[in-house]
Structure 1
Amino acid sequence: MLHHAGAGPRTPARAWRARALVVAGVCTAALATACGPRSQAAAPPTGGGLSVSYEAPLRGGADERAFLRGRRLPEKVAEDLNRSVRLPGRVQIVGRSCKQNDTPEYDPQTGRITLCYGFIGEVRSMFEADRGSGAVGDTEERTAGVVTETLYHEAGHALLDKLDLPFTGHEEDVADQFAAYRLLGQGDAGRAALLAAADNYDQYAHAAALHGLADADPSDEHAPDAARSASYRCYLYGSAPATGRSKEYRALVDGKRLSKERAGLCEEEYEDLRRGWGRLLAPHAAGR
């Protein structure tokens, strides 16, 4: 996850906690840890747009690549954005085994979004452990939700870079808002994906606390994981008008991750991000 074009890859908030979790045995030992030769890449669109390719996995990762390809998660994100946005340059989503960190990132120097197979295995293992503690939800669907949110987040970085979009505040927050913007327009499946991502950020924050690690790093451009979870829950809550909020939506306001005070502002927060991203992308709409 990166800020500006020309910068080098940066370590996201998840990454250093993930390393500690691996040492602690929370994540499976089968996470991919090496980079290998590429498989045949899909041809990128002529002129610009997003394309998808997969590299051959090494030392684990075969199941994760099959998971991605079987569900076409990168392809669906690429198709959605290619239908909606006219990009002046090419962006390639690449599934691969990674040398370290296993953390997704966008690199503006190469125009590449890297999605590590090890990241998918890590998320799946966390949801499996969650089920063992009595949590409700299908592990595969929740994992797919996190991967989809992650792809939209990294695509948000790519759009800010390729379209040179103006923004204020932290770019990581803006990329989170883009992920919410796209997912909340996709009905029940999109809302479930955003909630899965919120749950996963809660898991990282909780695991960090269990191992004596701080959730907040003053030098990190990312918001703390717990804060990112709260914001996603806020956007979910705010996307449903007050008159139409079901019991499921009201349950998001639990007084811990989302307070009543914050919930009172969520409809406005959601409208702000929806209008903001709508205006930013309007001049770049496909077909213009």
Structure 2
Amino acid sequence: MLHHAGAHPRTPDRAWRARALVATGVCVALAATCGCTRSQAAASPTSGGLSVSYEAPRRGGADERSFLKDRRLPERVAEHLNDTLRLPRTIDVVGRTCDEKDDVPAYDQETRRIELCYDFVGEVRSMFEDARSPDPDEHTAGVITETLYHEAAHALKDTLRLATTGREEDVADQFAAYSLIPQGAKGRAAVLAAADNYAQYARETDPQEIDFSAEHPPEATRSANYRCYLYGAAPKKSAKLVDGTLLTKERAELCADEYQDLRRGWGSLLAPYKTDR
């Protein structure tokens, strides 16, 4: 399932493409055969779970691959979900150079694979650098972490055949908030980094190019939702998020209920699969 759009001039088709990807370069048999390296976070092939690997980069991408591996961003998400959920099948998380027309992270239902694109990592970091972020690497790490949880939600819905009643992209964002906000300051920072990144994309989008019938909601809406969940989880701690623009006072009054609803919803969906660890 696709996540972010590109930073360069976009059309709605460029911003949000179709879900199913053509399976290319899948690592099978020996990792060396296709230039993959398997992470220590790999799940047991008999018990299921998230397994992390990295393909050799193309078109550059070496720095982005090192960024992911050195910070263990996919591994941390995989370890968290493997520790808390019993999954019947393996879900592969693959760092790779994606096709230029599909260079955003995605979950491929046919291969049960989350593709994390090196170009996307570089794009997000460049956006934070251009915005003179005080710590672009840390903010980029937050966006990548949120992205991984978002794509993991699509994988869980597919693998566990979870029933949901909302639009899947909204539900996947809610899973990212559900997973990250309880992790404390670092998790909250990741959600806020994602909210800021969506706001960056929104500022660069021509309003006439917004497709309101698209699979994903507009970037400004996703930014506002994340701010709402953060505020709803801890109103006193997050009062500055109510800025009257991305998060209005009127919306903020509903945020505690919205956050509790997503907590109850995802908690009920995943209860049969919890490891109780």
> Does structure 1 residue 279 correspond to structure 2 residue 276?
no
Q: Judge which range, 122-131 or 95-104, deviates more.
A: 95-104
How far does residue 44 in structure 1 lie from its aligned partner after superposition? Answer: 3.9
> Does structure 1 residue 170 correspond to structure 2 residue 167?
yes
> Does structure 1 residue 262 correspond to structure 2 residue 251?
yes
In structure 2, how many angstroms separate the alpha carbons of the residues matched to 1:213 and 1:112? 34
SS at match of 2:164: coil
Residue 14 of structure 2 is matched in structure 1 by: none
In structure 2, how many angstroms separate the alpha carbons of the residues matched to 1:213 and 1:124? 27
C-alpha contact 2:7 2:127 (8 A) present in aligned 1: no
Residue 156 of structure 2 is matched in structure 1 by: 159
1:225-281 CA-to-partner distances (Å, cap 9, x unmatched) read 0000000000000001x4xx13xx111000000000000000000000011111110
Residue 228 of structure 1 is matched in structure 2 by: 222
How far does residue 68 in structure 1 lie from its aligned partner after superposition? Answer: 0.2
> Does structure 1 residue 113 correspond to structure 2 residue 107?
no
Residue 51 of structure 1 is matched in structure 2 by: 51
In structure 1, how many angstroms separate the alpha carbons of the residues matched to 2:227 and 2:251? 10
Q: Give runs of aligned pairs for residues 113-192 of structure 1, distance below 5 A.
A: 113-131=114-132, 136-192=133-189
How far does residue 213 in structure 1 lie from its aligned partner after superposition? Answer: 5.2
In structure 2, how many angstroms separate the alpha carbons of the residues matched to 1:251 and 1:277? 27
Q: Which runs of 5+ in 2 are unaligned?
A: 11-23, 26-33
TM-score (ref. length: structure 2): 0.87
> Does structure 1 residue 239 correspond to structure 2 residue 233?
yes
Change (3 A) 1:213 1:57: farther
Change (3 A) 1:213 1:120: farther
1:114-164 CA-to-partner distances (Å, cap 9, x unmatched) read 000000000000000000xxxx53100000000000000000001111111
Residue 24 of structure 1 is matched in structure 2 by: none
Residue 218 of structure 1 is matched in structure 2 by: 212
Query: How many matched pairs?
Result: 253
Residue 5 of structure 1 is matched in structure 2 by: none
In structure 2, how many angstroms separate the alpha carbons of the residues matched to 1:137 and 1:199? 13
> Does structure 1 residue 250 correspond to structure 2 residue 250?
no
- Which portions of structure 1, spanning 4 or more consecutive aligned residues, are displaced by more than 6 angstroms? none
In structure 1, how many angstroms separate the alpha carbons of the residues matched to 2:71 and 2:174? 24
